[in-house]
Amino acid sequence: MHQKPGARDAEQYCVLSMMALRHVKLLVGAVVVFSCHSACSSTSPSCTDQFGRGQTGLTEVVVHCSASSSNLQCQAVQRSTGFYDYCPTQQDVTTSANWTSGDPTIVRSTGPGTFTAVGTGDTFVQAIYGGQSPMRPVSVFPNMPPLPTYDISGSVFQAGSTSGSSPIDGAVVQILDGLVAGRIATSSVPPPLLPGYSGPVGGRGFYRLLGVPPGTYHLQVTKSGYVSQQGTVTVVGPGGALLDFPLQPS
């Protein structure tokens, strides 16, 4: 059952909200600013504003995974969402969700949110709860537990310009080290999708490397007529990592 926050919690939430809204005041007008004050007043904490907006009942389920010495351990969290969500809530639904593997010959479920390696390859794990079924891509490498994977993406463009004005097509971006050393992507060419990923995304000059476990990687980009370039990027979790390459003509 949802409970309204106390006055102190509401006041703290309003301060943070007002700081964020300060940057968009000119775009959304004074109505939203006033709405926040109405919804977050320390004297009258509420989960709705003066127009009755808030607590729309919209929720999403998100899955987070991390590897241990022998298994992949995942957590499913159901959280409220929406622009007028003045009283954010979240609930751990790991033990209530139905967990499945996209390919049981690569990973199999051994308990709520727990998976073990069976073979090698790329697949995904999935939590089914409340009519939602979010996926988390995972990979199994030789002699290792299942690992969550993410993507590295960015734009290749001519130095001194922007990715939008002077994108470079056909540049080859390669990972030089780590478990996925040698993996390549080509700018302006959508990559083949691995299990659990969606797309295509991006446009001209855009590259995307999929199936990358957390870690720090060195990348190199080459393109005929341009000076090759290297860069370093760290992949931490959902959202992947971004690394742009502005190339100088050779």
Cβ count within 10 A of residue 227? 12
Domains 59-146 and 149-247 share a fold: yes
- Residue 2 reports pLDDT greater than 80: no
- Residue 13 reports pLDDT greater than 80: no
State the pLDDT at residue 175. 98
Cβ–Cβ < 8 Å for 85, 54: yes
State the pLDDT at residue 162. 87
pLDDT band (50, 70, 90) for residue 208 = very high
- Residue 68 reports pLDDT greater than 60: yes
State the pLDDT at residue 199. 86
State the pLDDT at residue 11. 41
Fold exhibited by the domain 59-146: Immunoglobulin-like (2.60.40)
- Residue range 149-247, CATH number: 2.60.40.4130
- Report phi then psi at 39, rounded to 5: -80, -25
Kindly list the domain boundaries of the chain, sorted by start residue: 1-53, 59-146, 149-247
Residue among 131, 20, 141 at smallest CA distance from 83: 20
Cβ count within 10 A of residue 108? 17
Cβ–Cβ < 8 Å for 143, 119: no
Average pLDDT over all residues of the chain: 84
Cβ–Cβ < 8 Å for 125, 136: yes
- Tens-place pLDDT, residues 103-151: 999 999 999 999 999 999 999 999 999 999 999 999 999 999 999 999 9
Cβ–Cβ < 8 Å for 106, 118: yes
Rounded to the nearest 5 degrees, what angle is found at the Cα of 235, between the Cα atoms of 194 and 229?
95
- Tens-place pLDDT, residues 18-34: 344 333 333 333 333 33
Distance CA(90)–CA(84), nearest Å, equals 16
Q: Are strands 245-247 and 150-158 parallel, antiparallel or unpaired?
A: parallel
Q: What is the reported pTM?
A: 0.78
